[in-house]
C-alpha cells in the first residue's frame, strides 16, 4: 500500500473501492496497522506544524481542541470545572477523561469513569491505579487498618506499592485478590459472565467469596471465574495484550463476539444490538490499534460473518449475520 493512498484515505478523498482497499490492507496484519498508525501520526503532526506556521484557524480549533469536563462531588455539593485540552500526535483521537468523584463520607473516596474514558490515580499508600472505561473504585483516604483494601467494579490495572506488613486487597463482586507488592489487571464488570485476574509481575492470591481456599498466580497467568458455574479456571496469557487497553489498543484471542462488542461499547461509548443469537458465540482473534470505531466495524465486516446497519431513528447499531 502506497503512502499517498493512505494520505488520500485520511483526507477522505477516496472512492468507495479505494477506501475498502485501504481497510482490507490495514486488517490483513498487525504490521500494516502499525504502518497505518505511523503514517496517520505523521500526517497529523504535519497539520499541526502548518498551524504553528500560519497561526490559528477555525479548522485547527475544530479538529485539535476539545473540551474535557471533570465533575467533582464533595459532601453533596457539586462543582464543575471545564478544562480546555489540545490533543496532539497519537492522542488526537482520544476522548477526554470524564471522572466523577464522590465522597460518601469523610473517610471513603469513590471514583467512576464514563464509557470511552480512562483515569489514573495515586492511592494514599503510593499504589498507582489506571481505571478503564465504565468502571468504579472506592478506597479510604488513609489505609489505617492491618490491610489496604479497595473495592472495584469494572476493570483496572494496579501497580501496588510493596509493604510486607500490610497486604493490599482488591474486592470484587465474587473474587478477592490479595497482594503484597506487584502489578496486575482485574476485569470485573457486573454485566459480564466472568471475572478475570491477570498477573503481570510479582505474586497474587485469588480467593472466591466465602471460601478459604486460594489460588496463587504466577506472572502471565490469568484466573477466570465463571459466575454461573462458580468455578475458577487458570490459563497462560500474554500479559502485555491483556493490559494493552491502557494505551488504547484492543487485543482479542479466541474471544466471543459478545465479549468483543462489550469492550468496543465501553471504549467508544456506542451500543450494539445483535440480531442473531448464533453470532454471540462466534470466536474472534485480532487487534485494533488506534482505529476509529467505524474502521473497526469495517474490519469486522470483512473478517467475520456479520454486517452492521445504522438506523437514524435508533441510537443502537444493529448487527446481522451474513447469509
Residue 94 has pLDDT above 60, yes or no: no
3-state SS of 139-152 is EECCCCCCCEEEEE
User: Alpha helix (H) ranges present in the chain?
Assistant: 3-10, 16-27, 30-54, 58-64, 239-242, 257-268, 293-303
Reported as a pLDDT band with limits 50, 70 and 90, residue 315 is confident
Average pLDDT for the chain: 80
Reported as a pLDDT band with limits 50, 70 and 90, residue 173 is very high
Q: Which of 93-102, 198-207, 233-242, 295-304 is the least confident region? A: 93-102
> CB 280: neighbour CB atoms within 10 A?
13
Residue 35 has a pLDDT of 80
Residue 102 has pLDDT above 90, yes or no: no
* Residue 34 and residue 290 in contact, taking contact as beta carbons nearer than 8 Å: no
Reported as a pLDDT band with limits 50, 70 and 90, residue 218 is very high
% of the chain residues with pLDDT over 90 = 49
User: Domain residue spans in the chain?
Assistant: 1-66, 119-242, 248-323
Residue 229 has pLDDT above 50, yes or no: yes
Is pLDDT larger for residue 106 or for residue 136? Answer: 136
Q: Which three-class secondary structure state does DSSP give residue 292?
A: coil
Residue 155 has a pLDDT of 97
- ∠ Cα 246 107 130 (to 5°): 5
pLDDT digits (tens, 9 = 90+) for 18-52: 877 887 787 777 777 778 877 887 777 676 555 44
Residue 49 has a pLDDT of 52
Is pLDDT larger for residue 116 or for residue 26? Answer: 116
- ∠ Cα 43 47 52 (to 5°): 145
Residue 106 has a pLDDT of 62
Report the alpha-carbon distance of residue 200 to residue 242 in Å, rounded. 9
- Are 119-242 and 248-323 in the same CATH fold? no
* Beta strands 65-74; 99-102: pairing state: parallel
Q: Which architecture does CATH list for 119-242?
A: Sandwich (2.60)
Across 208-220, average pLDDT? 86
Please report how many Cα atoms fall inside a 13 Å half-sphere around the Cα of residue 81, on the Cβ side. 9
Is pLDDT larger for residue 262 or for residue 63? Answer: 262
- Fold (CATH) for 248-323: Phage tail protein beta-alpha-beta fold (3.55.50)
Amino acid at each position: 500500500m502506497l503512502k499517498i493512498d493512505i494520505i488520500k484515505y485520511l483526507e477522505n478523498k477516496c472512492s468507495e473501492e479505494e477506501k475498502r482497499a485501504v481497510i482490507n490492507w490495514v486488517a490483513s496484519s498487525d504490521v500494516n496497522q502499525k504502518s497505518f498508525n505511523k503514517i496517520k501520526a505523521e500526517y497529523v503532526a504535519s497539520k499541526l506544524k502548518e498551524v504553528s506556521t500560519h497561526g490559528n484557524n477555525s479548522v485547527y480549533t475544530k479538529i485539535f481542541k476539545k473540551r474535557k469536563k471533570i465533575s467533582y462531588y464533595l459532601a453533596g455539593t457539586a462543582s464543575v470545572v471545564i478544562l480546555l485540552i489540545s490533543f496532539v500526535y497519537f492522542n488526537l483521537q482520544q476522548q477526554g477523561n470524564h471522572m466523577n468523584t464522590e465522597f460518601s463520607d469523610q473517610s471513603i473516596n469513590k471514583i467512576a469513569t464514563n464509557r470511552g474514558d480512562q483515569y489514573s490515580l495515586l492511592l494514599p499508600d503510593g499504589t498507582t491505579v489506571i481505571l478503564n472505561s465504565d468502571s468504579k473504585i472506592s478506597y479510604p483516604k488513609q489505609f489505617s487498618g492491618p490491610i489496604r483494601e479497595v473495592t472495584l467494579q469494572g476493570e483496572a490495572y494496579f501497580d501496588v506499592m510493596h509493604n510486607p506488613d500490610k497486604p493490599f486487597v482488591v474486592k470484587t463482586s465474587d473474587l478477592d485478590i490479595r497482594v503484597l507488592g506487584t502489578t496486575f489487571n482485574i476485569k470485573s464488570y457486573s454485566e459480564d459472565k466472568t471475572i478475570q485476574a491477570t498477573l503481570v509481575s510479582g505474586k497474587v492470591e485469588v480467593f472466591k467469596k466465602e471460601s478459604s481456599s486460594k489460588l496463587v498466580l504466577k506472572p502471565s497467568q490469568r484466573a477466570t471465574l465463571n459466575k454461573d458455574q462458580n468455578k475458577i479456571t487458570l490459563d497462560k496469557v500474554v500479559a502485555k495484550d491483556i493490559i494493552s487497553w491502557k494505551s488504547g489498543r484492543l487485543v482479542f484471542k479466541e474471544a466471543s463476539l459478545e465479549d468483543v462488542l462489550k469492550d468496543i461499547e465501553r471504549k467508544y461509548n456506542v451500543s450494539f444490538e445483535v440480531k442473531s443469537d448464533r453470532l454471540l458465540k462466534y470466536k474472534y482473534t485480532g487487534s485494533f490499534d488506534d482505529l476509529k470505531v467505524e474502521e473497526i466495524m469495517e474490519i469486522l465486516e470483512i473478517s467475520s460473518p456479520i454486517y452492521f446497519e445504522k438506523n437514524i431513528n435508533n441510537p443502537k447499531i444493529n448487527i446481522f449475520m451474513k447469509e
